[in-house]
Amino acid sequence: MSRFVYVNGQYVPYADAGIHAEDRGFQFGDAVYEVCEVKGGRLVDETRHMERLARSLRELKIAEPMSEGAWTRVLRETIRRNRLRDGSLYLQVSRGVHRRDFFFPPAGTPPTVVCIARNASPAKAEATAAKGIGIKSVPDNRWARCDIKTVMLLPASMAKEAARTDGANDAWFVDAKGFVTEGASANAWIVDKEGRLITRQIDNVILRGVTRTTLIDHLRREGIELVERPFTIAEAKAAREAFITSATSIVMPVVTIDGVTVGNGAPGLLSLKLRAAFHSAAEIAAV
Ligand code: PDD
């Protein structure tokens, strides 16, 4: 639980961390966000997360709310005030507060900035990874700019809820041609019967996952071949291994898809190897 939340320049107690009723994020989903892993009190892949945040803001023409140096201080101060060891930081920037209007507010309207700390149990995550997770596939009903990390997460929320109703842990979006685009809040990967590692290439229908990018760096260094192409949900069900990547799940093995067992039903060897190696490949911030 976050004890102090950064809201527009102040660290306020969690119970008092409110924003205005006419915030653009609340009324229009007009906001972008990042989730950055914190491990041992240190940010993981801060540079890439902050670069992606800057890109999301540019794409939506939302003003950058503060300098790089100010961001660095806010992130570290949020970790410090919450005594966060393991978990994540959630940062959100909206276009700000204005009388409800579809047109953008006047230039100079200050963006709303929020930073929330959240702890997570590494032991619990390892126990989940040792078992693997179940996936439900759902039609991808999101917009055409999923490369921008906006807070318009209702399709993802509904997909995850549908997965839970079916006894699965998470959801994968599938396009009209049967190709997996990505997970509801993660990128999707498979290892086919021949042992080839496959993930979708980056385009505007998926988020350019930071975990994905860092893992690709690691694969290159290790000389592990990667094929970047779309794969179908049928290929995934017939795969030897499957996994997801995100800042909160790192590399999480997938053992069932729509109730079909993937491989031998246990987390894949490559998936577990990549999970174990991930943090050695990531940028770990100085305290
Ligand atoms: N989600 N694809 C989607 C749709 C995502 O929401 C996420 C991250 C990813 C993986 O990106 P990264 O490796 O940078 O975390 C891919 C975060 C964790 C969330 O919404 O909570």
Residue type, 160: K
* Closest C-alpha among 78, 54, 80, 52 to residue 67: 54
CATH code of domain 125-281: 3.20.10.10
pLDDT tier for residue 287 given thresholds of 50, 70 and 90: confident
Q: How many CB atoms lie within 10 A of CB 82?
A: 24
**CA 90–ligand 1 middle distance (angstroms):** 11
How long a stretch of residues is the chain?
A: 287
Q: What is the pLDDT of residues 215-256, one digit of tens each?
A: 999 999 999 999 999 999 999 999 999 999 999 999 999 999
**What are the pLDDT digits (tens) for 54-76?**
999 999 999 999 999 999 999 99
Its pTM surpasses 0.85: yes
Supply the pLDDT for residue 2: 61
The CATH number for 4-120, chosen from 3.30.470.10, 3.40.640.10, 3.30.70.20, 3.90.580.10, is 3.30.470.10
| CA of 4 relative to ligand 1 center, distance in Å | 24
In angstroms, the Cα distances linking 229 to 27, 101, 192, 208, 226 are 36, 41, 13, 14, 9
Average pLDDT for residues 145-167, to the nearest whole number?
98
Whole-number Å distance, alpha carbon 99 to ligand 1 midpoint, is: 31
Closest CA to 140 of 199, 170, 198, 183: 183
Q: What is the mean pLDDT of residues 13-38?
A: 98
Q: Is 115 in the pocket of ligand 1 (CB under 6 A)?
A: no
pLDDT at 94: 99
User: Tokens 């900035």, residue?
Assistant: 113
Residue among 116, 185, 243 whose CB has most ligand 1 atoms within 8 A, to mutate: 185
State the pLDDT at residue 286.
Answer: 84
Query: Which of 39, 149, 160, 237 is the catalytic position?
Result: 149
**Ligand 1 binding pocket includes 245 (Cβ within 6 Å):** yes
Q: What was the pLDDT predicted at 27?
A: 98
Helix (H), strand (E), coil (C) string for the chain? CCCEEEECCEEEEHHHCCCCCCEHHHHHCCEEEEEEEEECCEEECHHHHHHHHHHHHHHHCCCCCCCHHHHHHHHHHHHHHCCCCCEEEEEEEECCECCCCCCCCCCCCCCEEEEEEEECCHHHHHHHHHHCEEEEEEECCCCCCCCCCECCCHHHHHHHHHHHHCCCCEEEEECCCCEEEEECCCEEEEECCCCCEEECCCCCCCCCCHHHHHHHHHHHHHCCCEEECCCEHHHHHCCCEEEEEECCCEEEEEEEECCEECCCCCCCHHHHHHHHHHHHHCCECCC
Compute the mean pLDDT over every residue in the chain, rounded to the nearest whole number.
98
Give the whole-angstrom CA distance, residue 37 versus residue 41: 10
Output the pLDDT for position 1.
54
The edge-to-edge listing of strands for the beta sheet with 31-39 is 10-13, 4-7, 112-119, 87-94, 31-39, 42-43
Is 136 labeled as catalytic in the residue annotation? no
Structural domain spans, the chain: 4-120, 125-281
